[in-house]
Structure 1
Amino acid sequence: MALITDQDSGLVTETNSSGKSYTLPFILIVSLFFLWGMAHNLDSILIPHLRKACQLKNWQSTLIDTSVFAAYFLMAIPAGMLLKKFGYKNSIIIGLTLFAGGAFLFVPAANTLSYPIFLGALFIIGCGLATLETAANPYATVLGDPAGATTRINLAASFNGLATIVGPYLGTIFILSGKEYTEAQLAAMSAVERANYFAGEAASVKVPYIILGCVLIAVALLFKVSNLPEIKNKAKEETSGGSFLGALRHRHLLWAVIAQFFYVGAQVCVTSFFIRMAHQGAHFDEKTAGTYLSWLYGGLFVAGRFIGTFLLKFIKPNVLLSVFAVLATLLCVVAILGEGGYVIYALGGVGFFMSIMFPTIFALGVEGLGDDTKPGSSWLIMSIVGGAILPVIMGLIIDSNGDNVQSGYIVPLLCFLVILYFGLNGYKIRKQIVTV
């Protein structure tokens, strides 16, 4: 999933008229969109895998999401401060270094079979991702003709969507072992056999994350040695930029923040338990389930972005958002009550209908804010903390229902109802309701 940053930031490049090519800098920026997409989509593989390797309850396994998205929430303001102090190029290098450091920490975490170290590593990765996204989104808009800014950032974001397919696919091949034992089978093993099994499961994450860390360091070095265009503020005086708390006096922004909180939570819930749902509801082995997460869910999510973008040329954003929310809700009902392979096809369909929700909610939320656009954008970005909270609730529901994964999908279902309300009513621009 990419964060949306205020693109009307008054930034220009110093080298726009120098005739230099921005091809290499833009390729480097595009690589960042792909890399942080990989990190997020590997989490969907890590949750069922570390649940098995570390013998976790469902709610404990969702702390993987909590670690990453809590880091986004906590790093939002510090990342902006880094950007202001060190500039875009150095902030990107700092973000890549944090990202790589977290990836390398997977080695001691696996060696000691320590879930807290895994969570610490993921938190550091999340801090790196937040820093990268804060810097890379606006930087992509200024690498070339200002008239092509929207095209450039959408092109970059498409590579983020590509990671929805590639991340789970590679994770399925290199992390998931396909070895699954019942509690009775584990109990029948000797202590040494059980220890070797758990150690082997944990060890499978080491090579992929070492490779990822090395790639990140290589990309950071490329940024270090590359002659990237400098960026500076326009000379003209900017407006006050509105009030951070005061922005919430706009009723439609307040509802957009709520809707975005539930959307991000819904997306993370759907993908975090997709593999376990495929195993329990459709009776797929974990390797097959991982393949379906990659090609079915990921493929439909990417297709939904392109098709949804096309439909938005003819259908009002709030109307399309409402229709997609209704259809996603109905597919959640199928996932909860159904049985067999079509349960997984229902979740794949949910991916299709979720694809436009984040940018559409964002756009509707900042519409008409004026000077409050920038603080309003910050609120919408911070609302992704829903990805840290709602999966834990889903895990607790599953645990309280005897490990019935299907029962947990009531959480994304309710999330889509909140989004439906926003599409039908909450998006409307009305009189300001709060004085701060």
Structure 2
Amino acid sequence: MPGDKNKNGSFVPIVIIAIMFFIFGMVTWVNAILIPYFKVGCELNNFESYLVAFAFYIAYLVMAIPAGYLLKRAGYRKGMMVGFWLMAAGTLLFVPAGIKREYHLFLSGLFAIGLGLAILQTAANPYITILGQKERAAQRFSIMGICNKLAGILAPVTFASFLIKPGDNELLKNVHLLDASNRAQILDELISRVIVPYAILTGVLLLFGLFIRYSPLPEIENSDGNVELEGKKSILDFPHLVLGAIAIFFHVGSQVIAVDSIINYTASMGMPLIEAKVFPSYILTTTIIGYLVGISIIPRFISQLTALRVCTILGFVLSVLVVLTHGNIRLLNHTTDISVWFMILLGLANSMIWAGIWAAAMDRLGTFVKTGASLLVMGLCGNAIMPLIYGWLADRSGLQFAYIVLLPCYLYLIFYAFTGYNLKRWKRTIKRNYEIPESV
């Protein structure tokens, strides 16, 4: 990236955005521990526990388009400050929710955090696309991904140290045998552990929002303003963008299912929660390995598009193995089903999909860059809907079979990587008089 630094003066902005992606990771991937934590502490079934992901990510669908207008009206720095402060309001709600053990209040806090993140994602991803050479966008996305996933490795383990104590597993295994009064007392104490870490996080988010407001981040202009738009009047006139938003929906949905469900899945096989808590970190570690490989070989040896195609096919193959394989093996001092390890390898497959979709979908949007980014961010609501589908299937057909929901996700991503990314219009124009059809 040194060339980008010298040519574009983008080094400092990229560092700031990298810190932002680390913060995004801390507040996002902690859901992996919150889902089983609330399931026990608030006495929920699988479907109800995945409302954590739903409340958090449905905010992207609600806020993405308003976020684009906010950024256009207030500017990027002021808009991002609002985003951080909205997140702080959400984390602050965890304090009274922890005092009352009120699940609906937790969900409200998660929704507010998601609203703030929708603004920040709408702002941050276009920066990565334009700060440097287009063909190296995947490298920059990989660097941001490493920051995000490093936070994801730290978040479940760090928050678990506040939320889960060594003696909890045996206690919680027998809590259902207690009378209502004693059970409520134990669960109240368990849930109240969120108060301190989320109060600290509130302060961090407020301060960082203020920092962003006065940071040296540039305002983004229409980076493709000189592109000939051929009469296109709205973002819906760009098939590769609309199909890219759907691809984001399936990509993030499949990714969050793997990370957020793996603790429950391993625990269902008898593994103690205090041991199972590390498995989301394993998935995110394989994702980071994928990022590092991408940084090393793109675009020197393979293109962003080729990486996208390889990763989507690999994701489909691994998903089939997750659903169909059985049998315990011992790795990394854990004894668990082999399907768990195939799910961990999904992190490798997911690593270059986000970068490939964003680079393809944001190409040649002209004056529609900001609203195009908003549409792609709306696709993040896949994180809300796909885990609910998984949870519904898990309650009816078992945790392993429910992973069949991953298969259509990767099939669509394969379609986008090979065909959808290249569509320039919704219908081919048939030329008469034996003229050669225009390429799509």
If the TM-score is normalised by the length of the shorter chain, which range does it land in? 0.7 to 0.9
Given the superposition, is the C-alpha separation of residues 177 and 247 from structure 1 closer, same or farther in structure 2, using an over 3 Å criterion?
A: farther
Q: 1:408 aligns with which of 402, 414, 422?
A: 402
User: Percent identity between the aligned chains?
Assistant: 31
Return 5+ residue gaps in structure 1 as ranges.
1-12
| Equivalent residue, structure 1, for 2:349 | 353
Whether 1:190 and 2:151 are equivalent positions in the alignment is no
| Equivalent residue, structure 1, for 2:332 | none
| Equivalent residue, structure 2, for 1:301 | 287
Q: 1:247 aligns with which of 223, 237, 246?
A: 237
Q: 1:51 aligns with which of 39, 50, 53?
A: 39
Aligned amino acid, residue 353 of structure 1: A
SS of 1:284's partner is coil
1:373 deviates by 5.9
Aligned amino acid, residue 302 of structure 1: I
SS of 1:395's partner is helix
| Equivalent residue, structure 1, for 2:434 | none
Tell whether the 8 Å contact from 1:100 to 1:125 is kept in structure 2 after alignment: yes
1:115 deviates by 1.0
| Equivalent residue, structure 2, for 1:427 | 421
Tell whether the 8 Å contact from 2:68 to 2:374 is kept in structure 1 after alignment: no
Whether 1:325 and 2:319 are equivalent positions in the alignment is no
Alpha-carbon RMSD across the aligned residues, in angstroms, is 3.4
Whether 1:69 and 2:57 are equivalent positions in the alignment is yes
Q: Distance in 1 between matches of 2:37 and 2:347?
A: 22
Equivalent residues in 2 for 1:9-408 (5 A)?
A: 23=12, 27-138=15-126, 155-177=143-165, 179-180=168-169, 185-223=174-212, 226=214, 228=216, 231=219, 233=221, 242-244=232-234, 246-248=236-238, 250=239, 252-281=240-269, 283-294=270-281, 296-313=282-299, 314-336=301-323, 337-340=325-328, 341=336, 342-367=338-363, 375-401=371-397, 404-408=398-402
1:70 deviates by 1.3
Q: Distance in 2 between matches of 1:235 and 1:162?
A: 30
SS of 1:171's partner is helix
1:319 deviates by 4.1
SS of 1:205's partner is helix
Whether 1:417 and 2:434 are equivalent positions in the alignment is no
Q: Distance in 1 between matches of 2:173 and 2:22?
A: 42
Aligned amino acid, residue 378 of structure 2: M
1:124 deviates by 0.5
Aligned amino acid, residue 243 of structure 1: K
1:216 deviates by 1.4
Tell whether the 8 Å contact from 2:145 to 2:288 is kept in structure 1 after alignment: no
1:108 deviates by 0.8
**What is the CA deviation profile of residues 360-380 of structure 1, one whole-angstrom value per residue up to 9, with x for unaligned ones?**
123233446666666544433
Given the superposition, is the C-alpha separation of residues 113 and 422 from structure 1 closer, same or farther in structure 2, using an over 3 Å criterion?
A: same
TM-score by length of 2: 0.81
Aligned amino acid, residue 324 of structure 1: C
1:335 deviates by 2.5
**What is the CA deviation profile of residues 132-152 of structure 1, one whole-angstrom value per residue up to 9, with x for unaligned ones?**
223344567888x99999577
Aligned amino acid, residue 234 of structure 2: F
TM-score by length of 1: 0.82
Q: Distance in 2 between matches of 1:148 and 1:327?
A: 23
Tell whether the 8 Å contact from 2:222 to 2:367 is kept in structure 1 after alignment: no
Return 5+ residue gaps in structure 2 as ranges.
1-7, 329-335, 430-440
Tell whether the 8 Å contact from 1:270 to 1:412 is kept in structure 2 after alignment: no
| Equivalent residue, structure 2, for 1:10 | none
**What is the CA deviation profile of residues 270-323 of structure 1, one whole-angstrom value per residue up to 9, with x for unaligned ones?**
112110112124x321122111221x1111111111213434433354443333
Tell whether the 8 Å contact from 1:240 to 1:371 is kept in structure 2 after alignment: no
SS of 2:204's partner is helix
1:169 deviates by 2.1
Aligned amino acid, residue 349 of structure 1: L
Given the superposition, is the C-alpha separation of residues 198 and 215 from structure 1 closer, same or farther in structure 2, using an over 3 Å criterion?
A: same
1:199 deviates by 0.9
Given the superposition, is the C-alpha separation of residues 180 and 236 from structure 1 closer, same or farther in structure 2, using an over 3 Å criterion?
A: closer
Tell whether the 8 Å contact from 1:172 to 1:291 is kept in structure 2 after alignment: no
Aligned amino acid, residue 308 of structure 2: L
Tell whether the 8 Å contact from 1:305 to 1:356 is kept in structure 2 after alignment: yes
Higher mean C-alpha displacement, 161-170 vs 238-247? 238-247
1:239 deviates by 7.0
1:130 deviates by 1.5
Given the superposition, is the C-alpha separation of residues 381 and 140 from structure 1 closer, same or farther in structure 2, using an over 3 Å criterion?
A: closer
| Equivalent residue, structure 1, for 2:433 | none
Tell whether the 8 Å contact from 1:309 to 1:356 is kept in structure 2 after alignment: no
Q: Distance in 2 between matches of 1:430 and 1:42?
A: 39
Aligned amino acid, residue 427 of structure 2: I
Higher mean C-alpha displacement, 133-142 vs 107-116? 133-142
Q: Distance in 2 between matches of 1:117 and 1:195?
A: 18
Q: Distance in 2 between matches of 1:96 and 1:331?
A: 36
SS of 1:338's partner is coil
Q: Distance in 2 between matches of 1:384 and 1:427?
A: 18
Tell whether the 8 Å contact from 1:41 to 1:164 is kept in structure 2 after alignment: yes
